[in-house]
Amino acid sequence: MAGTRGIARFRGEQLNNHIMRNNHFDTNNKINESYLEIDFSKHREILENTKIDVFVQVNDRAVAGVSQLDVSADVGARPVATDVSVEGVVLSEKVQLRIQGTDTPIGDTDSDVVYGRLEENSGQYVLKFYSMEGGAEQPYTFAAGSENIDYRFVIRTNLSVIPVDAIVKGGAGFVEGATDVKAYMNLIQLMKDIYGAAGTLDHDGNANLPMSIQEQIDKEQTDRSRADQEIRDNFASALGAGMLGVITDPNYSGLTVQAVLTDLAARIKSAGDSNDARMNAVELKNAEQDNRFAKLETEDEEEVFEAIGGETEYLLSKGRAKDKTVSLAINGQIQTPGINFEYIKNGNGEIIGFNFTPETLRVVDGVPDVVFVQYKKI
């Protein structure tokens, strides 16, 4: 029998009221939802307070010969979103334009994409058209024979009332920058990185560099390989020692790098041979001291064991323990011999393990009991 009281464990009544804090819980093992009672339908304010920007699309508007449209009827009575927390029309976002019924963007004379911006005045909304010219935003007027357009603008709403088709119809139809290759595919930036600040995109299909980048790379590899070989050849010649700053000295006669290194190596070996006997004696002494240290270090021992579940005893795996030198803890709680467990001893009276019968080690919610033992090793 395991003493008189079994394994020591915490009881619920040992925990005082109002002492649980966040640091008592494991952040890597969250409390399961089955233990929480939350009525999410009563917390709709979470959705209402979470704002989201979505597109509203308007189709088939005539734009031939105009630079702006009155779109008050399309926008409706929506207010202006004056802040990220205010719902309404987002005037700061571009209005995307496409040829009616297609995903085809509209380009100006040099292939910059044409877009719109909404302006509001006393509840009236005007859609004005623009494109980039010379790196700056400029008004754009559609030609007299231009096709009708579809457009979409941005509104700020919240998750509780977001339209059911907002993602499908508002986020998947238009493809921003499909024809504006210079601005949206960063070709201008790439060109300046290659040619410098004065570089240009000529659109004529002819190279501006006198030598292509690949040819420059190939030439650099050839030149570098030739230069590296020249350095190696010089080091191997009579010039090598001088290139490293080696001067004539009576202690060696070589002038090449190899000759100087060979001379030094011979001198070092000669000096080393004379010390071999002393070094052997020192190494022997160190080995003897290492053996003494190892014996001292192994006198104190400790073991850790994680339960599989159902064990009624634990046997020491690293040696036998001296009597009256053992500390045994289960899950951090020190266990008392004769009360929480009994020693298991061999025929010589040496401690070889611990008996918990009729108690057993357990695994609760996937977390095993942990046995920790410290002792003086025989």
Is-contact 159 45, C-beta < 8 A?
A: no
Is-contact 153 172, C-beta < 8 A?
A: no
The torsion region of residue 143 among left (phi > 0), alpha (psi -120 to 50) and beta comes to beta
The arithmetic mean of pLDDT across residues 219-248, rounded, is: 78
Q: Which two three-digit tokens encode residue 93?
A: 């976002």
180 and 56 part of one domain: yes
Is-contact 145 59, C-beta < 8 A?
A: no
Q: How crowded is the C-beta side of 137, counted as CA atoms within 13 Å?
A: 8
Final residue of a structural domain among 184, 211, 242: 184
Final residue of a structural domain among 166, 184, 202: 184
Look up residue 78 and give its DSSP letter: -
The arithmetic mean of pLDDT across residues 84-91, rounded, is: 95
Whether the per-residue pLDDT at 258 is higher than 80: the answer is no
The arithmetic mean of pLDDT across residues 219-224, rounded, is: 90
* 370 within a domain of the structure (yes/no): yes
CA distances from residue 75 to 88, 127, 172, 274, 324 in whole angstroms, order as listed: 10, 10, 20, 98, 87
Look up residue 55 and give its DSSP letter: E
* 366 within a domain of the structure (yes/no): yes
Is-contact 78 53, C-beta < 8 A?
A: no
* 222 within a domain of the structure (yes/no): no
Nearest Cα neighbor of 371 from 320, 333, 344, 325 is 333
Question: Out of 148-152, 189-193, 311-315, 334-338, which region has the weakest mean confidence (pLDDT)?
Answer: 189-193
Cα separation, 266 vs 168, whole angstroms: 81
* 176 within a domain of the structure (yes/no): yes
Whether the per-residue pLDDT at 140 is higher than 80: the answer is yes
49 and 177 part of one domain: yes
Number of domains in the chain: 2
Structure confidence at residue 95 as a pLDDT band (50, 70, 90): very high
Q: What is the dihedral of CA 280, 282, 287, 292, to 10 degrees?
A: 160
**Highest-pLDDT range among 17-26, 190-199, 279-288, 310-319:** 310-319
Look up residue 320 and give its DSSP letter: P
The arithmetic mean of pLDDT across residues 136-160, rounded, is: 93
Cα separation, 307 vs 274, whole angstroms: 60
Between β-strands 342-345 and 351-355, what pairing exists: parallel, antiparallel or unpaired?
A: antiparallel
pLDDT single digits (tens) 1-21: 555 667 888 767 677 788 888
Tell whether the torsion through CA atoms of 268, 273, 278 and 280 is positive or negative: positive
pLDDT single digits (tens) 324-364: 999 999 998 999 999 999 999 999 889 999 999 999 999 98
Biggest CA pair distance of the chain = 111
pLDDT single digits (tens) 27-43: 888 888 888 888 877 87
Q: How many CB atoms lie within 10 A of CB 79?
A: 13
Q: How many CB atoms lie within 10 A of CB 268?
A: 10
For residue 131, the enclosing domain spans: 45-184
Cα separation, 95 vs 160, whole angstroms: 25
Structure confidence at residue 129 as a pLDDT band (50, 70, 90): very high
* 306 within a domain of the structure (yes/no): yes
Q: Which two three-digit tokens encode residue 211?
A: 């030598």
Nearest Cα neighbor of 156 from 147, 166, 146, 164 is 166
* 169 within a domain of the structure (yes/no): yes
178 and 309 part of one domain: no
Q: Which amino acid is at 21?
A: R
Nearest Cα neighbor of 154 from 184, 116, 122 is 116
304 and 176 part of one domain: no
Is-contact 103 178, C-beta < 8 A?
A: yes
Residue 319 burial class via C-beta count within 10 angstroms: exposed 0-12, middle 13-18, buried 19 and up: middle
Residue 191: phi and psi, rounded to 5, are -60, -45
pLDDT single digits (tens) 166-217: 666 654 455 443 333 333 345 667 777 787 777 776 656 677 778 888 888 8
Is the whole-model pTM more than 0.85? no
Q: What is the dihedral of CA 288, 292, 294, 300, to 10 degrees?
A: 180
Cα separation, 114 vs 106, whole angstroms: 6
Final residue of a structural domain among 168, 184, 200: 184
* 118 within a domain of the structure (yes/no): yes
179 and 305 part of one domain: no
